[in-house]
Amino acid sequence: MTACIIGWAHTPFGKHPDETVESLITRVAREAVEHAGLAAGDIDEIYLGHFNAGFSAQDFTASLVLQADDDFRFKPATRVENACATGSAAVHQGIKAIRAGAARRVLVVGVEQMTTTPGPEIGLNLLKASYLPEDGETPAGFAGVFGKIADSYFQRYGDKSDALAAIAAKNHRNGVENPYAQMRKDFGFEFCRTESEKNPFVAGPLKRTDCSLVSDGAAAVVLSDVSAAMTAPRAILFRAAEHVQDFLPMSKRDILAFEGCAEGWKRAFANSGTTLDDLSLVETHDCFTIAELIEYEAMGLARPGQGADVAMSGETGKDGRLPVNPSGGLKAKGHPIGATGVSMHVLSAMQLTGEAGGIQIPGATLAGIFNMGGAAVANYVSILERIR
């Protein structure tokens, strides 16, 4: 690969009523460039990941990055969107600009402010990431879409409620030590497994603890070509950066296989010369716990229908064979749509430089990332390695 991450920034995720999309963007843009040891004038191109879909009244947002520093003026700036994978889509566009020789240093920002939108509108906005002719009337919105997926999975492979609760409990436990996480509370397996007033069913077999959080937040990375990265304070190389797009209608594919996810990992391993066993950790897209369960199978941790065994075994815990979502994942960290993919890259880079604090995986050398838009429609896989 021809690109490295050389700097980053990350706000806490959560409810930020005193912030705006603009203030979130400008904050991380300034901090990421400073972290990279650069000035705004050193940046050649800018990409902004911002899903929006009705969350923000300001819908022409690429130039808001320029508000961070006047020296960004006249730099190319482009907004990128690909549903819940918007952040990784922006990162991958930055890599392509560097690979093409159009830029040497690229600033990528991901942002979303969701919590200022009324609840019913949030559901409608998120449902736009599904295929409306088939799913537009789904009760409970996008949670309802994944509720149907969970129902279908249970019908094919049996009730896996224990495994979903184990995934939720693991990610909440991990999130306690993540200073950027929206929910830093260890709920435990029993709370996540049991229906209650505080943990009601939301859609199908999915309870509240199975669903990621509505969030505000931003993250940013500075990308560089490899030669320029050699003079940076740090350099995290993209060993792989793969994008696989699948059909939007779930009726055109086996939705329980997450075939686009599987193909993305297959290509990433082949093109990077690595295997699943080489990875020190994975940050994967647990928008709902059933998604993480199926992703175990798609990445090759388990055979089809056996992801629950992995979830229950503890091998994806922080001390397990392959830690998955040591950050707490979307489940605990939060899921501001446009920022999520960039956040995954920031926190994985921190793991590889040994700067991840309480969520650090000791001796991490290779990090895998899977960011998904829609129900396994937009599939982005990155494999990162520190080279400086």
Tens digits of per-residue pLDDT, 77-93?
999 999 999 999 999 99
Find out whether 343 and 219 touch, Cβ atoms under 8 Å.
yes
**3-117+215-229: in CATH 1.20.120.160:** no
Please tell me the distance from the alpha carbon of residue 340 to that of residue 354, in angstroms, as a whole number.
21
Q: Which of 106, 13, 117, 109 is nearest to 67 (CA)?
A: 109
Tell me what the pLDDT averaged over the chain comes to. 97
In the chain, the percentage of residues whose pLDDT exceeds 90 is: 99
pLDDT (0 to 100) of residue 116: 96
Answer for the pair 243, 33: CB distance below 8 angstroms, yes or no: no
Domain definitions of the chain by residue range: 3-117+215-229
Rg of the chain (C-alpha set):
19
User: How many Å apart are CA 325 and CA 126, to the nearest integer?
Assistant: 23
For residue 219, give the nearest of 90, 94, 126 by alpha carbon: 90
Number of H helices, E strands in the chain: 13, 11
DSSP-based three-state secondary structure for 271? helix
Mark out the alpha helices in 212-285 (DSSP H runs): 226-229, 259-272
pLDDT of 31: 98
Which stretches of 158-288 are DSSP H helices? 161-175, 188-193, 226-229, 259-272
Residue 243 has pLDDT above 80, yes or no: yes
pLDDT at res. 2: 84
Residue 1 has pLDDT above 70, yes or no: no
Q: Would you place residue 166 in the very low, low, confident or very high pLDDT band (cuts 50, 70, 90)?
A: very high
71-75: Cβ within 8 A, 24+ apart: 71/39, 71/40, 71/41, 72/29, 72/40, 72/43, 72/46, 75/43, 75/44, 75/45, 75/46
Spatial separation of the C-alpha atoms in residues 296 and 97, rounded to whole Å: 32
Instruction: Compute how many other C-beta atoms are within 10 angstroms of the C-beta atom of residue 267.
Output: 17
| 99 pLDDT tier (thresholds 50, 70, 90) | very high
Residues 331, 387: Cα–Cα separation, whole Å: 31
